[in-house]
Amino acid sequence: MSDIYVISTGRNAGEHVKSCIESVMSQSIQPREHILIDDISDDDTLAHLEYYKNLKNLQI
């Protein structure tokens, strides 16, 4: 089976970070890596991302 990588991007998407991460992690086949890219948000996106920084396979 091939490895699966997920790349999620966003700007000022703090309110959607939790649902994005949980949606990816709830899939029946887990990605080898989930990469989250923030485009210089000026809301609370980074604070939400920091909460999940220790999850396995997650890169911020």
Summarised one tens digit per residue, pLDDT across range 45-57 is 999 999 998 988 8
Please report the pLDDT score of residue 38 as a whole number.
94
CA proximity to 24, closest of 38, 15, 35, 14? 35
Summarised one tens digit per residue, pLDDT across range 5-20 is 999 999 999 999 999 9
Integer Cα distance of 54 and 56 in angstroms: 6
**Ordered strands of the 58-59 beta sheet:** 5-10, 33-38, 58-59
Please report the pLDDT score of residue 53 as a whole number.
87
**Between these two residues, 29 and 1, which has the higher pLDDT value?**
29
* Beta-ladder partners of 37: 9
